[in-house]
Chain A
Amino acid sequence: MTHQFPALSPEQKKALSDIAQRIVASGKGILAADESVGTMGNRLQRINVENTEENRRAFREILFSSDASINQSIGGVILFHETLYQKDSNGKPFPTLIKEKGIVVGIKLDKGTAPLAGTNGETTIQGLDGLAERCAQYKKDGADFGKWRAVLKITSTTPSQLAIQENANTLARYASICQQNGLVPIVEPEILPDGDHDLQRCQYVTEKVLAAVYKALNDHHVYLEGTLLKPNMVMAGHSCPKKYTAQDVAIATVTTLLRTVPAAVPGICFLSGGQSEEEASVNLNAMNQLSLPKPWKLTFSYGRALQASALAAWVGKNENRKAAQEAFRKRAQINSLACRGQYVVSGKTDTAATQSLFTASYTY
């Protein structure tokens, strides 16, 4: 083994670590508002709103112009490329609007899936070409963290060794490049909830995937203290007949993480993966109430699970702005409480909050 060539200077490490800590500071999580144009279209279609650039801009403005106190619940916002360069009605760029509230701006960096030949419909992720240059530019334009979503699926033959290896490797490459450009990489190895597998199967697969991810990160000399993990919770597949409680999900998830995620990682921000808003909050809460040791923050990086109610309240009408913001603020606050295990389920929730947000084979 040759003598090491440090990937990062001490100053670079400190900057990355500080950013990561700020995003997952106590009680804070991430708003994943980085839906691609196509995916945003699906969201808007559900509320009968046309998928125009202006509509996309308008909805994001509603979220980002929330009262500054939203920063108690939201530590970071992930944007799609288009959104990073949009402005609010007063001409203020969105990154500025967000950073003014003390919230960190993030950018989706992957370019979607590409098929892996010789597998059962498995994929890898594109986006490494020119990534260094893109990261440098995004950093200049206000971003401080990045996100890259790898996708794996459970069937009787998948995920295969190749799929796990390949996705872990591309995640590690992406993370390494991000850090070279001052961006904290959020590492997202999502195992889709599609299928009829039970909780134990999901746990087994998640453990294998995360072990591979952290070995790859180590191989690529990624500075763990300057990263965040965005995993799926450990749950049964959507068509699994057996039902599990929030407690079951919490124990399985935290056990998996304890077996695979080094303590050096500052925070774990779960994806909601098609759970309803309420389910995603309740499960996060259950995890934070567990007496198992948790050396990392356990928080959220929710897209659908933070925005569903807001979208339903807005339905494309400007006069519903305040109502939409209130819906968003409420969900954000609930998740903030869930981060501390303090969310008391009231028992009465509105329809939008309990609606499943599952879409088969989700790409976005």
Chain B
Amino acid sequence: MSPPVPALTPEQKKELAAIAQRIVAPGKGILAADESTGGIAKRLSSVGAENTEENRRWYRQLLFTADSRVDPCIGGVILFHETLYQKADDGRPFPEVIRSKGALVGIKVGTARGRLGDIGDNKGTWRGLDGLMERCAQYKKDGADFAKWRCVLKITEHTPTRLAVMENANVLARYASICQQNGIVPIVEPEILPDGDHDLKHCQYVTEKVLAAVYKALSDHHVYLEGTLLKPNMVTRGHACSKKYSPEEIAMATVTALRRTVPPAVPGITFLSGGQSEEEASINLNAINRCPLPRPWALTFSYGRALQASALRAWAGKKDNTKVAQEEYVKRALV
């Protein structure tokens, strides 16, 4: 083994670690407001709003300008590319608005995923690594301090395959390495979808295998763990599973899986809500933080749907509903 070539200077490490710590400071979590242009369409149409740039801007503004009650709850906001460059009514760029409330700005960088081996429009292999170095440098200049890349795995009889696990872990590690080179804290998101009829134990088993692969890849790529965050699924049953589990069972399975795979050097774990209802996501997170097993990392949220659903409904595309919608959002954040 040749002598190491340090990937980061001590100053770079310090900055990354500080950013990560601020995002997951006690009581704080992440608002995932990074739905792509296509992804937000479903949300908007569900409340009868047209998917225009202005509606998208107005809706995000609603969230970012909620009153200061929400400030102690939100350590970071993840944005989609378009949103990073939009402005509030008063002309301030959204990053500035968010930072003025004490939160850090994050940017989604993984683009549309594709099936391994397919070639063609929207189905290619991983997009997003090409030119990522330059994009990160630009995002950092434009106000982003952290980033997010979501990999997706699915549980069926034959999946996730060893190849899928390995390939996704490797991509996440490359992304993380590039981010850190540009002063951006990478949130590593290896989501195992809740689709399927598998039980809790099976999800735990798969989650442990996936996370072990992720952290081996991060080590291989010399990623500085203290300057990263993990965004995993909670360990839950598949949506179509007939057996029901209590929040305590979910908490125990989740924390056990994490204790077996996530090095204590990782400062925080921000769970994705993965289709859970707002209330369910909060209850489960609460149970996780009350789990009797020792937990060396902060355990908090990075919720999209689970923070926004009520607000979205309340807004229903009507500008007059802004205050009501903001109230809903604040309520969820405080919970």
Contact = CB atoms under 8 A, between A and B. Distances in A.
A338 to B, nearest CB: 21
B212 A215 contact: yes
A214 B295 CA distance: 19
Given A225-B260, A263-B296, 12 more contacts: A3-B157, A201-B4, A211-B216, A211-B219, A211-B220, A214-B212, A219-B212, A258-B264, A262-B264, A264-B256, A264-B260, A295-B264
A158 interface: yes
A302 to B, nearest CB: 25
Interface residues of B, number: 37
Contact of B260 (A157, A161, A164, A262): A262
Contacts, number: 87
B41 to A, nearest CB: 33
Interface in B188-205: 201-202, 205
B219 A157 contact: no
A159 B225 contact: no
* Residue of B208, B225, B264 with most chain A CB atoms under a 10 A cut-off: B264
A262 B261 CA distance: 6
B264 A263 contact: yes
B174 interface: no
B259 A264 contact: yes
B139 interface: no
B225 A157 contact: no
9 contacts: A1-B209, A4-B205, A156-B3, A205-B1, A218-B208, A224-B260, A255-B265, A258-B265, A295-B264
Interface in A196-220: 200-201, 204-205, 207-208, 211-212, 214-215, 218-219
A208 B219 contact: yes
B294 A263 contact: yes
A2 B260 CA distance: 20
A1 B205 CA distance: 10
Interface string A1-25: 1111000000000000000000000
B215 interface: yes
B161 interface: yes
B68 interface: no
B205 to A, nearest CB: 4
Leading 4 A-B pairs by shortest Cβ distance: A211-B219, A218-B212, A258-B265, A215-B216
A322 interface: no
A293 interface: yes
B46 to A, nearest CB: 34
Nearest to A204: B4
A293 B4 contact: no
A4 B263 contact: no
B209 A218 contact: yes
Contacts of B213: 215
A164 B1 CA distance: 10
A255 B17 CA distance: 14
Contacts of A225: 260
Contacts of B160: 1
A295 B296 CA distance: 6
A1 B259 contact: no
Interface in A120-171: 154, 156-161, 164
Contact of B161 (A1, A157, A159, A255): A1
Contacts of B294: 263, 295
A261 interface: yes
B206 interface: yes
B165 to A, nearest CB: 8
A318 to B, nearest CB: 48
Interface string B281-324: 00000000000001110000000000000000000000000000
A260 interface: yes
Contact of A218 (B220, B225, B261, B263): B261
Given A157-B1, A158-B1, A293-B296, A263 B206 contact: no
A159 B3 CA distance: 10
Interface in B1-58: 1-4
A48 B296 CA distance: 50
Nearest to A207: B219
Nearest to B201: A4
Given A1-B159, A259-B263, A211 B2 contact: no
Contacts of A293: 264, 296
